[in-house]
Amino acid sequence: MTLRLISLNAWGGRVHGPLMQYLKAADPDVLCLQEVTRTPDAAADWLAYRDGAFELPQRASLYEDVKAVLPGHEAMYAPVARGTLFEGERKVSSEFGLATFVRGSFPIIGQQLGFVHGEFSAGGWGEHPRSRNAHAVRIHRYEIGSAVTIVQMHGLRDLAGKGDTPARLAQAHALVALIEKAWQPGEPLVVCGDFNLLPGSETFAILGELGLTDLVTTRGFTDTRTSWYPKDGRYADYLLVTPDVKVESFDVVAEPEVSDHRALLLEIA
């Protein structure tokens, strides 16, 4: 029996209908989502994120919407900040962060959650580079009698680009420290997410010290973005595994387009 994992930057639910259809049909055992909104006080389904002249629609209830299409999963939400979205001209406080969903038949036997850059911002989105966190779950697989640790991160965004910076290198070491609190060496380990990095980043060498190898670049994929993203620099999302992860299949999903990021789909024996 395989374990199916999807990692995806959900883009605040901008492509909501196709996203919900895809997640329901794919029915992953573990779903790692980045850029997830949760807005308990919203009266409307859609809100707007505004940054100067830039405006992006955001699904107010994205976290609850995903829970509804994956009713048999344990759901965990990990915000990095609460800031202002707009319902017309009305200001609404909304949270933004990671969400992890684990099928109920896989018991969660360990967890670790923490910030890899900055800290929780309760009074606004904050200045760039904004806070970022990571979440690890160690789950037991009854059918094979062992555990696997799955870690997701949304890497910090720097307005200057995706090159290495002192903050990004500190983030990498913080991620390793978080992994080591959740993972039992000798067991399979998967690390995934929107890292906001170039393939040559020193982050991958730092993660390589844990035995992790990226599947996106080593399997010939050159684009993790969709047509919703018109810019150059097509790498953002990565999925790394240790050698004891028995990969049955891996894909950077080009269709359907459910975000400005492609989903990363991993099946392991």
Q: Where are the beta strands (DSSP E) in 39-89?
A: 46-51, 54-59, 73-87
What is residue 251's predicted lDDT score, i.e. its pLDDT?
A: 98
What is residue 41's predicted lDDT score, i.e. its pLDDT?
A: 85
What is residue 52's predicted lDDT score, i.e. its pLDDT?
A: 85
DSSP calls for 26-42: H--SEEEEEEEEE-TT-
Helix (H) or strand (E) holding 169: helix 166-182
Residue 267 corresponds to which tokens in the numbers above? 């099946």
The model's pTM is 0.98
Q: Give CA angle at 111 (105, 117), nearest 5°.
A: 135
**Residue-wise pLDDT tens digits, 10-57:** 999 999 999 999 999 999 999 999 999 999 989 999 999 998 889 999
Tell me the sheet residues that pair with 253. Answer: 263
Q: Give CA angle at 84 (40, 163), nearest 5°.
A: 115
Pairwise CA distance, residues 19 & 23, whole Å = 6
Residue 32 near residue 150, CB atoms below 8 Å: yes
Residue 94 corresponds to which tokens in the numbers above? 């909304």
What is residue 23's predicted lDDT score, i.e. its pLDDT?
A: 98
Report, as ranges of residue numbers, the positions in the chain whose pLDDT lies below 70.
Answer: none
What the chain holds in terms of domains, given with CATH numbers, is 3-268 (3.60.10.10)
